Amino acid sequence: MNVIRVRGPVRLAGTTYVSGSKNAVLPIMAASILAPGTHYIENVPFLVDVVNMAQILHDLGIDTYWVDSKPVEIEEAGRLGPHVIRRTQRHPAWSGYPDWRTPGDGMIEINVGDIVSDTASYEAVSRMRASISVLGPLVARVGHARVSMPGGCVIGPRPVDLHLKGLRTLGAKVELQGGFIEASAAGLQGDRIYLGGPRGSTVLGTATVMSTACLAEGVTVIEHAAQEPEVVELATFLRNAGARISGDGTHRIIVEGVSSLHSAHHRVIPDRIEAGTLACAAVATGGEILIENARFDHLFALWDRLQSAGAFIDEVGGATMVRGQKRPQATDVSTFPYPGFPTDLQAQMAGVLVRAEGTSVITDRVFPERFWYAPEMTRLGARIRVEIPSATVQGTDRLWGAEVAARDLRGAAALVIAALSAEGETVIRDGGHLYRGYEDLPSQLKFLGADISVEGVSGDVEDSL
Ligand code: UD1
């Protein structure tokens, strides 16, 4: 059935947490290709996309396991009282999730040995566009790669020209053949690369060049690099694996090539988009929540816009406090690369502003076509007019429940947010999109007081694609 039901209106209240960052862990998993050995990554979210990436790595000959090392009490005959041992459980991540998973507490082990294939299939790339992240590491490690060309998707065209430009500058030969990107290199050579595009910096393009350059000869300088915290995370993982990288978090990243990398241990940052989604849900419902482990400093652009919408935001003893007014105020929002307002929170912000007093303009120049949720929201009574790259939102004090359909991850979250303040029941079809980027948003919202249920939707891969 794949349906999420929300009954509103509700005012969210209570304390919640966020899991590890999806967009940090996916490029880290891909970059592990570069470094033979056994890697341990902590705070990995139980997400469909993590399983998707584990499947791609499995096809290349790299096995990823969910691991859980828990103290267990054992009773033994002849022994006085129980004694405690640590028992490690392992579950193949490419086949899904283990029964023993505890949300917010995932850890993976990636075993990197010989690479047995150089191909990411059409099926893999169409399922998850972040699959492109294996291209550069494969070329750097084995000298050749075949990755299916990403086509268009519901948030608009997602070109990879900057990834290819970066690889060519490092000395790879790159051709487009039969729907595949075919790249090869006899040896990679560091160089200066300007990576800015028509819409600013590229996050995964920066990841591609930064990780490939680790095994190139000499120095690579990436100008107009993406500054996202997830790029810093990847750089930190690579440094732990022996890479020489500096400048991450700024517009200029410098990579000094090394001859090989080794295994690493890394703990992933909390997901800023999940934290932002929960904050938007609180403000949309005039609620008050405390988000326990969010990185407050990763979301200044969102805090600024939510404050402008009348919300009270504060950092309290390491946690983030978000309190909304009965009704938000209208405010304008424009997306930018980090540290600007994230395109990944644009739809959720619309979920807030549909109930605002006054008219707001939301502009997304990063992904200008990311407004498919607008016609669905109008079914709830929202008044939104889209003229790409903007949507004009005329706030209304009354939304009502209706049947709607989700088409992508963040749009699905936006529909849930709008539904929380709509009167009556909203039925969101294809709600499984949510599980590509949130471990269990419905349960988190339920804990905060929402009347929400799921049917046929779970974290299981088959149900969620
Ligand atoms: C990543 C995130 C995604 C987020 C996006 C922007 C992951 C797994 N995904 O996607 O959630 O929405 O950053 O913050 O981390 N572009 C080009 N040529 C290229 C590459 C990109 O023109 O070769 C354009 C894109 O069309 C877009 C802009 O650059 O307009 C930014 O895209 P980019 O930062 O590359 O997005 P992703 O890294 O794919």
pLDDT of residue 465: 29
End-to-end CA, the chain? 12
pLDDT mean over 262-276: 97
Owning domain of residue 328: 3-18+270-464
Distance from the alpha carbon of residue 88 to the mean position of ligand 1, in angstroms: 37
| Index of the ligand 1 atom closest to the CA of residue 26 | 8
Q: In 3-state terms, what secondary structure has residue 100?
A: coil
Cβ–ligand 1 distance for 367 under 6 Å, the answer: yes
pLDDT of residue 459: 44
Residues 254 and 333 in one domain: no
Q: Give the predicted TM-score (pTM) of the model.
A: 0.95
Residues 45 and 168 in one domain: yes
Q: Which of 194, 202, 271 to mutate to test the pocket of ligand 1 (most atoms within 8 A of CB)?
A: 202
| Index of the ligand 1 atom closest to the CA of residue 337 | 14
Number of domains in the chain: 2
Please, what is the Cα angle at 119 between 51 and 230, to 5 degrees? 50
pLDDT of residue 380: 98
Tell me which residue has its CA closest to atom 31 in ligand 1: 202
Q: pLDDT above 70 covers what percent of the chain?
A: 96
pLDDT of residue 463: 30
Pair of tokens at residue 117: 């294939």
Phi, psi values for residue 330, rounded to 5°: -65, 145
Residues 99 and 127 in one domain: yes
Residues 11 and 58 in one domain: no
Measure the CA–CA gap between 155 and 370, rounded to whole angstroms: 5
Q: Which of 21, 47, 158, 338 to mutate to test the pocket of ligand 1 (most atoms within 8 A of CB)?
A: 158
Cβ–ligand 1 distance for 434 under 6 Å, the answer: no
pLDDT of residue 458: 53
Tell me which residue has its CA closest to atom 5 in ligand 1: 203
Residues 335 and 347 in one domain: yes
Structure confidence by residue, pLDDT tens digits, 93-144: 999 999 988 887 899 999 999 999 999 999 988 888 899 999 999 999 999 9
Measure the CA–CA gap between 329 and 348, rounded to whole angstroms: 15
What DSSP character marks residue 269?
P
CATH of residue 285's domain is 3.65.10.10
Residues 428 and 340 in one domain: yes
Pair of tokens at residue 281: 């849900």
Say if CB 273 and CB 280 are below 8 A apart: no
Residues 194 and 274 in one domain: no
Tell me which residue has its CA closest to atom 39 in ligand 1: 204
Q: What burial class does residue 239 get, using C-beta atoms within 10 Å of its C-beta: 0-12 exposed, 13-18 middle, 19+ buried? A: middle
Please, what is the Cα angle at 405 between 404 and 408, to 5 degrees? 140
Residues 421 and 353 in one domain: yes
Last residue of a domain, one of 239, 267, 295: 267
Residues 202 and 239 in one domain: yes
Residues annotated as catalytic (active site), given as ranges: 153
Last residue of a domain, one of 248, 267, 286: 267
Structure confidence by residue, pLDDT tens digits, 196-233: 999 999 999 999 999 999 999 999 999 999 999 999 99
Structure confidence by residue, pLDDT tens digits, 146-177: 999 876 556 566 789 999 999 999 999 999 99
Cβ–ligand 1 distance for 207 under 6 Å, the answer: no
Q: Which residues pair with 318 in a beta bridge?
A: none
Measure the CA–CA gap between 169 and 1, rounded to whole angstroms: 48
Q: Which of 53, 366, 436 to mutate to test the pocket of ligand 1 (most atoms within 8 A of CB)?
A: 366
Structure confidence by residue, pLDDT tens digits, 11-66: 999 999 999 999 999 999 999 999 999 999 999 999 999 999 999 999 999 999 99
Task: Work out whether strand 83-92 and strand 63-74 pair parallel, antiparallel, or are unpaired.
Answer: antiparallel
